[in-house]
Structure 1
Amino acid sequence: MTRFIVKVVMNGIILIPLLKWYTEATTMSAVVASIIFSLIAYFIGDQLILRASNNLVATISDAVLAAIYLWAVSAMMNWSLSWGELLFTVVLLGVAEMLYHYFLKRFDRDTERETA
């Protein structure tokens, strides 16, 4: 549960201000969009892809997922998110995800050593 909360907070720190800055999103719609993205990215990127592959594959998958998700939400909510703004947001999320995955793997290795 702690890992999910960290992911929600991390994504929220990036997504909420950028969505409010770049689009006509209200605070509530930016928060909801961020939480839904975090849920999807956590279950697909962290629980499925990261466990089955490596950090690079999971990070790229999360970045692609973020691009598709933000593009779809932007279209559905009629937000004016340009391709440049979308790309900048996705790159920031990708870097954050890469660091997040790195620390998850490191924490898992440290935990295994302590229990052995």
Structure 2
Amino acid sequence: MTRFLIKTAVNGIIVVACLWLFTNATWTSAILTALGLTVIAYLIGDQLILRATNNVTATIADAVIAAIYLWAVARWMNWPLSFGELIITVALLGVAEFVYHRFLGIYDHNRIKKEPGK
């Protein structure tokens, strides 16, 4: 649960700030959009792809998921999110996801080393 909360905070800060800055999204719609993205990215990117592959692959998958999701929500909500603004948001999310995945890898590695009998 802690991992999901960390991802929610990181994604939330970036997505809400970018949507608020780049579009006419309300705080509520930006927060709900960030939560939706976090759930999808966590389930697909972190629980499936990261466990089966590596950090780079999971980060790229998260970025692609974010791009498609944010583009679709922006069109559905009729937000004026340009391609450049979408790329900026996705790039920021990609950097944050890379660091987040790296943190998880280091944390898991250190936790395994400290377990008795390892």
Q: TM-score category by the smaller chain?
A: over 0.9
Q: Which amino acid aligns with 1:50?
A: L
Q: Tell me what 2:43 maps to.
A: 43
Q: Tell me what 1:104 maps to.
A: 104
Q: Deviation digits for residues 47-87 of structure 1, max 9, x if unmatched?
A: 00000000000000000010000000000000000000000
- Counterpart CA distance in 1 for 2:93 and 2:61 is 11
Q: Tell me what 1:74 maps to.
A: 74
Q: How does 1:81-92 map to 2 (within 5 A)?
A: 81-92=81-92
- Counterpart CA distance in 2 for 1:58 and 1:21 is 27
- Counterpart CA distance in 1 for 2:95 and 2:20 is 20
- Counterpart CA distance in 1 for 2:100 and 2:88 is 18
Count how many residue pairs are aligned between Structure 1 and Structure 2. 116
- Counterpart CA distance in 2 for 1:102 and 1:19 is 26
Instruction: State the identity %.
Output: 55
Q: Tell me what 1:58 maps to.
A: 58
C-alpha deviation, 1:17, in angstroms: 1.1
TM-score by length of 1: 0.99
TM-score by length of 2: 0.97
Pairwise CA RMSD: 0.5
Unaligned runs of 5+ in 1: none
- Counterpart CA distance in 1 for 2:2 and 2:76 is 31
